Amino acid sequence: MTGAGNQQERPAIETIDVSLGAFLSGFALGEGSFMVVCRKRSGSARGFRLSAAFNVSQHDRAPLDPFRETLGCGTMRIAGNGGWYWEVNGLRDQRERIVPFFERFALVGQKAQDYELYRRAVGLLDQRVLGESDYRAVLALRERMNRGGKRKYRMAGILRDYTPTSPASRVG
């Protein structure tokens, strides 16, 4: 399964039908996840690479196809449990498609709080150079997302396990 085709054919967020947008937003409220992913990278200046991601999962693929078709981005994958998930990992797609979509079709409750933290993290990660304070800010946002969630790497351990080599390093 591959991602969206010609990026120029993507409809503008403003033109998405209100009922379809409300459906997708409601579906994401129950089945979506906003994340800041932290992967250990030995070649990285900080030892860890930070990236943002959004996905929606479901056992049945049919409700996920409209996400990819409507937003014109992301990848459909088979999950380990035999279900499906649609994911958006590209920072540009998150900035230009996911964030504007959820600004127009707002979430509620805890998911809205997770989205706000994710939106802020995307803004920080979108910088060409991520300074030390911004790196720490992204990690702090990550710690607050998804009610703390289970994490392989926690902020305290990440910060303990590396020594910055310069005041500003590239993301990752």
The answer to whether residue 171 sits within a structural domain is no
Q: Is 150 exposed, middle or buried (0-12, 13-18, 19+ CB in 10 A)?
A: exposed
The answer to whether residue 7 sits within a structural domain is no
pLDDT of residue 153: 57
83: tokens are 């279900």
Q: What integer is the mean pLDDT of 49-64?
A: 93
Q: 125-164, pLDDT tens digit by residue?
A: 998 788 888 888 988 898 888 765 665 555 555 655 555 5
**Could you tell me the CATH number of the domain that includes residue 123?**
3.10.28.10
DSSP string spanning the chain? ----S-GGGPPPGGGS-HHHHHHHHHHHHHHEEEEEEEEE-TTSSSSEEEEEEEEEEESSSTTTHHHHHHH---EEEE-TTS-EEEEE--HHHIIIIIHHHHHHS---HHHHHHHHHHHHHHHHHTSSEEEHHHHHHHHHHHHHGGGG---SS-HHHHHHT---SSSEEE--
32: tokens are 């979506």
The answer to whether residue 163 sits within a structural domain is no
Number of domains in the chain: 1
- pTM here is 0.81
Q: Which of 140, 102, 103 is nearest to 121 (CA)?
A: 140
167: tokens are 């005041």
The answer to whether residue 3 sits within a structural domain is no
Q: 115-125, pLDDT tens digit by residue?
A: 999 999 999 99
Q: 161-170, pLDDT tens digit by residue?
A: 555 554 444 4
pLDDT of residue 158: 63
The answer to whether residue 96 sits within a structural domain is yes
pLDDT of residue 3: 46
The answer to whether residue 72 sits within a structural domain is yes
Start-to-end Cα distance in the chain: 27
For residue 34, the enclosing domain spans 17-156
Would the pLDDT of 16 be above 90?
A: yes
The answer to whether residue 44 sits within a structural domain is yes
Residue 72: strand pairing partners: none
The answer to whether residue 10 sits within a structural domain is no
Q: To the nearest whole percent, how much of the chain has pLDDT over 70?
A: 75
pLDDT of residue 21: 97
